[in-house]
């Protein structure tokens, strides 16, 4: 995530389909990760799934 400041830690809140295989299209799961400019995020998505990530400076 090279668009982030290199030294600053961030909190990434990740919202995704609760079941990546698409079994529950209205269910959403959320995770929070500590990330920085060197972090690479990977996601398994269903063909009709989605993903949203909100990145904010870490406390």
> Which residues are CB-contacts of 15 (< 8 A; sequence separation ≥ 6)?
28, 29, 30, 51, 52, 53, 54
Collect all residues with Cβ–Cβ distance below 8 Å to 21 and sequence separation of at least 6: 46
Q: Which two tokens stand for residue 39?
A: 């972090």
> Within a domain: residue 1?
no
The pLDDT of residue 20 is 63
Q: How many CB atoms lie within 10 A of CB 35?
A: 19
Domain limits for position 35: 10-57
Q: Which pair of tokens denotes residue 23?
A: 């079994």
pLDDT computed for residue 8 by the predictor: 94
Task: Record the pTM.
Answer: 0.75
Residue 29 resides in a domain: yes
Q: What is the pLDDT of residue 31?
A: 92
Question: Is position 46 within any domain?
Answer: yes
Residue 59, pLDDT score: 81
Predicted confidence at residue 45, as pLDDT, reads 77
Q: For residue 4, is it within any domain?
A: no
Residue 5 lies in a domain: no
Convert the pLDDT of each residue in 6-59 to its tens digit.
Answer: 989 999 999 988 776 666 667 888 999 999 999 999 887 777 778 899 999 998
Tell me how many domains the chain contains: 1
């Amino acid at each position: 995530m090279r668009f982030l400041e290199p030294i600053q830690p961030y909190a990434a809140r990740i919202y995704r389909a609760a079941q990546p295989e698409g079994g529950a299209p209205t269910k959403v799961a959320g995770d929070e990760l500590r990330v920085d400019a060197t972090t690479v995020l990977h996601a398994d998505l269903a063909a009709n799934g989605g993903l949203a990530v909100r990145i904010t400076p870490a406390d």
